[in-house]
Amino acid sequence: MAYRGRFAPSPTGLLHAGSLVAALASWLDARAHGGAWLVRIEDVDAPRCVAGAGEAILAQLAACGLHPDEPVWWQHARGEAYAAALQRLRAAGQAYDCGCTRADVDAALAAAGRPHQRFGERVYPGTCRAGLRGRTPRAVRLRVDGRIDWVDRRLGPQSQDLAAEVGDFVLQRADGLRAYQLAVVVDDAAQGITDVVRGEDLADNTARQIALQRALGVPTPRHLHTPLVRAADGHKLSKQNGAAPLDLRDPLAALAAAAAVLGLRVEAAGSLPDWLAAAVVAWAGIIAAPDNRFQEGT
Ligand code: GLU
């Protein structure tokens, strides 16, 4: 199948050094496979989005010479597709209405002898699986069952017991917003994405997304999760901890720093197009090597 990759930033702020690593890796992998590279602005969580950030991110990518091969998709325009997917899942009995508040979930977990730990995953105990029993519908959840195994091209074999570690998870929130998991899976399928290349902080979502792909009967792409850039305090660089936006007065320096995180050796080149071409050759060399660090995987 012809390779189709994507970079899918949430416009909650500008790109920083960490997000450029994922953007560059997804672009390089698409180019090295002779495939298409798409950009999708994930503005489904409107309250978290910053006005103008989507356009600004596209301008940052363009300044780095990273141009999408097809028109950019914006998730705010995709509501009907998400509603249709929810409808299908509900009709098939794979998604159901949940009337639990967070306090209800905590009370049910405590009653079951598994109190929710601060910062821990709030594993949904399945209270509304058998029906609302008089509760008002709030969220919509996906019914999950058992363990998901998958192979990451960089991290190797991965496994998550979704039922035990996550529980039936939210597809539509109580405030009516569609969850990231639903939007990303519906859009990756609609865009025919064969390869997801993104930051390692998102690896933990993969099992949920595979479960959702199976429930919807759509293909699961291959995955490659890229190394994170750490702030001086050792935490992942993120918009939340105030990572500085990329300084694009010198895009080559920003790209060289991103390439170094990926372990890429790119010969110094005079111009941006020359540097990018050399980086594609370096990336292609890695994936063609017998001890390929980025496995072609399943
Ligand atoms: N929009 C997500 C984020 O910026 C990334 C989604 C993805 O690549 O799957 O965190």
Digit-coded pLDDT (tens) for 235-286: 777 766 767 888 888 999 999 999 999 999 898 778 999 999 999 999 999 8
Does the CB atom of residue 152 touch ligand 1 within 6 A?
Answer: no
Give the rounded percent of residues in the chain with a pLDDT score beyond 90. Answer: 83
SS3 199: strand
Segment 99-147, tens digit of pLDDT: 999 999 999 999 988 888 888 888 999 999 999 999 999 999 999 999 9
For ligand 1, atom 6: residue with the closest CA: 8
Segment 7-20, tens digit of pLDDT: 999 999 999 999 99
CB burial of residue 289 (10 Å; 0-12, 13-18, 19+): exposed
Per-residue pLDDT, averaged over 182-204, amounts to 98
Per-residue pLDDT, averaged over 11-35, amounts to 96
Evaluated on CA atoms 101, 211, 95, 167, the torsion sign reads: negative
Question: Separation of 9 CA from ligand 1 center, angstroms?
Answer: 5
pLDDT of amino acid 65 = 97
> Which helix (H) or strand (E) element contains residue 67?
none
CB atoms within 10 A of CB 281: 14
In this prediction the pTM is 0.94
pLDDT of amino acid 296 = 59
CA 227 to CA 38: how far, in whole Å? 21
CA 150 to CA 117: how far, in whole Å? 27
**Residue 164 contacts residue 123 (beta carbons within 8 Å):** yes
Question: Separation of 181 CA from ligand 1 center, angstroms?
Answer: 10
Per-residue pLDDT, averaged over 197-215, amounts to 97
CA 98 to CA 143: how far, in whole Å? 11
Question: Separation of 114 CA from ligand 1 center, angstroms?
Answer: 31
Beta 169-172 vs 139-142: how paired, if at all?
antiparallel
CA 77 from centre of chain: 19
Is the pLDDT confidence value at 292 over 90?
no
Question: Which phi and psi angles does 4 have, rounded to 5°?
Answer: -135, 120
Question: Separation of 10 CA from ligand 1 center, angstroms?
Answer: 6
CA 291 to CA 223: how far, in whole Å? 18
Does the CB atom of residue 228 touch ligand 1 within 6 A?
Answer: no
The band of 295, judged by pLDDT with boundaries at 50, 70 and 90, is low
Does the CB atom of residue 9 touch ligand 1 within 6 A?
Answer: yes
Give the residue from 25, 63, 15, 64 showing the smallest Cα distance to 280.
25
Reading the block at residue 182, the tokens are 């639903």
Does the CB atom of residue 198 touch ligand 1 within 6 A?
Answer: yes
